[in-house]
Chain A
Amino acid sequence: MIKSKKADISGEKVIFYIASVFVLAIFFLFIAGMIFTTKAARANIPEGLENFIFIQRFTNSPYCFTYQDIDTGRYYTGIIDWDKFTEANLNYCYDTENKIVKGFNLKLINQETKEETPAIKTKNWVGRVDEEREIILRLYKEEEFYDGKLIVQIQNAI
């Protein structure tokens, strides 16, 4: 069989086109993936930061459970008032039923007397525990200060 020279060149060209398109497609995907990953990573909140900030609210905010000196009116961040540790207060200082944001289930333990409060939960809590943290802190109960522990169960956005 006699092959034409013209056909030979066209065949090589087709193979070259196919190879080029293939390489280009890979390159496209690589660049797109790289940009997407970089951008998406930059848009993310660093791991654990959001949980940290919400937990800070529970322990430090005057609008949650923070102990207030009745004589001076001063709030003591980091000290939880046992009597303020109620679901009503929690839902005041963390008011959402939106499950797109994190939900919390909290329990306070007096490490000296081993007494525990009932668990209290935010309104968007559905019972899925994605993470649990223990926060060591001081607590105030009936004019005495104790070593305490705050158990925080975290439900990530659904």
Chain B
Amino acid sequence: MKKRGDTYTLYVIAELVIAIFIVISAKDIITAWASNQAFDKVQLAKDIALQANALYTVPGNMYIVNDNHRNFSALFSDGLVNIYKKEKEDTTGQYYYVGLKKKYFEKNLYKPPIIVLTKNGDTIGATDELETLNKLNYPTISTLDEDWKDKYKIFIDPGHGDSADKRDPGIENNNLNLKKESAVTLAIAESLRALNLNIQLTRDFETYVSIDERKNILKEADVIISVHIGEYSNDKNSVKAYIPLESNKNLENKKLATIILNSLTKELDLDTISIIPVDTKNIAAESPEAILQFEDKIVILLEIGNVNSDKGIEMLNKLVPIPNLINQGIIEYFEVK
């Protein structure tokens, strides 16, 4: 027969076991409640908004990859970063970033593998794949025109131009087969003309042509592509497209520059491509960028390669793919919807 003390001890042990069970269950419940992703969503929204703000603190193009987004989706709308798990759910993590005037974007990345914030010139965007970063996005305007060969006068402006009395060879580098920029740009321009009979040049020979003379010739042009080569203090091989900061053809300039850059990435070994808007109001008259001072024409200036990069030298010495790819870009601009 059990004594009273024994019964009491059993009660206490049973109560303790129940209490421990309750505490463990409660801890799990509380943890689940607290980690109901609300904080994770807010944290991610704040991180991404902060990244968007940070992108505006630097000149040039760049991107930031978020690969620790824990399978959340992201909706960008009017400066608000919304992080959510399921569509139409009530609790989302939200935080604002501050953009430039008229530069806010709308984008829904639903269950993205990664969330990538991009800055291209003054435009912030978001994408869910790194692959597209090697290709720039262009404005969604239609430039499709079946009669483009008859309607548009396309001029290639080979940068610089050397002559006995007035030398403007541009970059000179003994590793270049053609030794100087003016010869390389002329070779590219002549090949382009051979590929596309609609194309005219601002100079046909290795001769000096002033910027004013070039601009006079270009008065009848509808589309202008000025060709230069690059020299930078790094070993990255790049192509940069300069476009006017302000122009009546801003969207067209951006689209043509983007399509040509994307076309060049198809075959060339490039580390970076970028579009750089230039404030054309304050450019010195004899600066090559003065070619961009046409507000009513489609105009871009390409700076191809980097003579301080082995890959750049190799690319500029091979030469053949460059005019071919630029020509493909021109055709795509007018012929692909």
Contacts and interface: CB of A to CB of B under 8 A. Distances in A.
Interface of A: 5, 9, 12-13, 16-17, 20, 23-24, 27-28, 31-32, 35-36, 39-40, 42-45, 49-50, 53-54, 56-57, 60-63, 66, 68, 70-71, 73, 75, 77, 91-96, 98, 100-101
B96 interface: yes
B244 to A, nearest CB: 11
A71 B283 CA distance: 6
B282 interface: yes
B84 to A, nearest CB: 15
B194 interface: no
B56 A31 contact: no
B31 interface: yes
Contacts of A66: 59
Interface string B263-288: 00000000000000011001110010
B57 A56 contact: yes
Q: Which size bracket describes the interface of B in this complex? A: 35 or more
A36 B34 contact: yes
Nearest to A92: B101
Nearest to B43: A43
Contact of A9 (B8, B31, B79): B8
Interface in B30-48: 30-31, 33-35, 39-40, 42-43, 46
B166 interface: no
A63 B279 CA distance: 12
Contacts of A93: 56, 100-101
A95 B12 contact: no
Interface centre among A28, A40, A57, A73 (most CB of B within 10 A): A73
29 contacts: A5-B4, A12-B8, A13-B11, A16-B15, A17-B15, A20-B15, A23-B19, A27-B23, A28-B30, A31-B27, A32-B33, A35-B34, A39-B35, A43-B40, A43-B42, A43-B43, A43-B46, A57-B57, A62-B59, A68-B282, A71-B284, A77-B58, A77-B59, A92-B100, A93-B101, A96-B99, A98-B96, A98-B98, A100-B96
B204 to A, nearest CB: 29
B26 A63 contact: no
Contacts of A40: 39
B7 interface: yes
Contacts of B39: 39-40, 42-43
Contacts of A57: 53, 56-57
In the A-B complex, the 3 residue pairs with the smallest Cβ-Cβ separation, listed nearest first, are A39-B39, A35-B34, A70-B282
B54 interface: yes
A45 B47 CA distance: 8
Given A16-B15, A60-B57, A49 B50 contact: yes
Given A35-B30, A43-B42, A63 B23 contact: no
Contacts of B122: 62-63
A75 B59 contact: yes
A111 B10 CA distance: 83
Interface centre among A20, A32, A43, A92 (most CB of B within 10 A): A43
Contacts of A17: 15
B289 interface: yes
A91 B96 CA distance: 16
B50 A50 contact: yes
B96 to A, nearest CB: 5
B279 A68 contact: yes
A101 B34 contact: no
B278 A91 contact: no
B22 interface: yes
Given A31-B27, A98-B96, 6 more contacts: A9-B8, A32-B34, A43-B39, A61-B57, A61-B59, A68-B282
B54 A53 contact: yes
A95 B40 CA distance: 28
A98 B79 contact: yes
A94 B79 CA distance: 11
B34 A91 contact: no
A14 B284 CA distance: 93
A90 to B, nearest CB: 10
Nearest to A102: B98
Given A43-B46, A96-B79, A98-B79, A54 B53 contact: yes
Contacts of A73: 278-279, 283, 289
B26 A24 contact: yes
Contacts of A49: 50
Contacts of B22: 24
B284 A70 contact: yes
A60 B58 contact: yes
